[in-house]
Chain A
Amino acid sequence: DAGVIQSPRHEVTEMGQEVTLRCKPISGHDYLFWYRQTMMRGLELLIYFNNNVPIDDSGMPEDRFSAKMPNASFSTLKIQPSEPRDSAVYFCASSLLMNTEAFFGQGTRLTVV
């Protein structure tokens, strides 16, 4: 397996635009996580899915953020409208079980200008 695949690697967008980040988890993993990394807060969990169902979205900062997992091999994180303070690195990760190690993608560096 190629691991967790995220796209794009880098995204630069203007404030107010819609941004969509994509993730392909490792095949067979039942859990998918979206994290945001910032200097101040480290790795923050935004939302996670179990078997494609969102379980906990309490980390999603605002209604401007939404995530979907239409099938076991694909998930999106959408920000609409984007703001400069959303600039960060966003990671997707997947794991077999809740209490096992998660495998991370390489991340998407988002810059909102």
Chain B
Amino acid sequence: GAVVSQHPSWVICKSGTSVKIECRSLDFQATTMFWYRQFPKQSLMLMATSNEGSKATYEQGVEKDKFLINHASLTLSTLTVTSAHPEDSSFYICSARAADRYGYTFGSGTRLTVV
């Protein structure tokens, strides 16, 4: 079945630094990838949608310059949290979808803690 690998699983960084999170589709071509943010005990909030080779589409209220998304290949999308601050601490989850079927496969998530 479709598998999405997300790395790292957890990361602790200092305030002001940047962190990159990778999302890879291992056995299918992900033409579309989605990035979500989840606060404790809350639902998933869609941050952006990225199509391979195109600029990401960000949801209202999400800072494009802070959350850089790159989807340069059909199997890899990255989310870079730039100049991270403690309020960016959260659980980030990616999901991927292939063009030839309507199904979403989720990564295992990344716990980001900014100190």
Chain B binds chain A: no
* Chain B residues within CB distance 8 Å of chain A: none
